[in-house]
Amino acid sequence: LPILARAVETIAPAGAVNGLAQVLLRNTCPGVPDLYQGNERWDFSLVDPDNRRPVDFALRRQASAQPADTTTLLRDWRDGGIKQALIAQSLGVRRHYSELFRRGDYQPLRVQGPRAEHIVAFARHWQGQWALVVVPRWVAGWLGDQPHIPPASWGETCIHLPPALRDSRWKGLWATRLTAQGELLPVSQVLTQMPVNLLIAV
């Protein structure tokens, strides 16, 4: 058991990054997000009936009423607050831009640079509105004890935007703001604060 516990500790931050990436993809890909009540935070259930336990709604309401900053979310990532915050923020964007996510097309985006294979990026577009979704993959070797990828790890890796988005300005989750360099958007700027991001062209 101690050996297994150490192994779990080693891979836990990478598992958290994968979990956050899944949350953002589920909430932004074409279709209706499938959210399971009680899984707003980390859930380690196996199968029925293991997942049939009371949901701590008071904890979830308290977290929603007092949103934490990114530093706190990353520091306390093991409590699952970071997952709940991502769900709340991404669904808030989806609600505000409902037609974009309901009717918008899906455009996979090319990534270039030394870590291009470690990024999944796509855009949603509808009648002049644009959303950009960026999530990492295969980053276990870059992590410390938090699910945060140091921005310098991305080097010159950039997302190649459609020509219509040349020099575009973006607002992301957790108040991220950045401007494209021509048709390129540096990943190091997109994922500065958190391991995933959803941005809206402004």
At 66 the pLDDT is 87
pLDDT digits (tens), the chain, 202 positions = 999 999 999 999 999 999 999 999 999 999 999 888 889 999 888 777 776 778 899 999 999 998 889 999 999 999 999 999 999 999 999 999 999 999 999 999 999 999 999 999 999 999 999 999 999 999 999 999 999 999 999 999 999 999 999 999 999 998 889 999 999 999 999 999 999 999 999 9
DSSP labels, 30-77: SS-----TT-SS-----STTTT-S---HHHHHHHHHSPPPHHHHHHTG
Look at the alpha carbons of 33, 36, 37, 42 in this order and tell me if their dihedral is positive or negative: negative
Please report which helix (H) or strand (E) contains residue 18, including its range: helix 2-28
**Contact predicate 38/54, CB 8 Å:** no
Burial bucket for residue 126 (CB in 10 Å: 0-12, 13-18, 19+): middle
**Contact predicate 165/202, CB 8 Å:** no
Could you tell me how far CA 156 lies from the centroid of its own chain? 21
At 55 the pLDDT is 87
At 171 the pLDDT is 97
At 94 the pLDDT is 96
At 53 the pLDDT is 79
List strand residue ranges (DSSP E) for the chain, in order: 105-108, 110-112, 119-126, 129-136, 158-160, 169-172, 177-179, 184-186, 197-201
How far, CA to CA in Å, does 113 sit from each of 164, 184, 189? 21, 11, 14
Residue given tokens 């009371």 in the structure block? 54
**Contact predicate 35/87, CB 8 Å:** yes
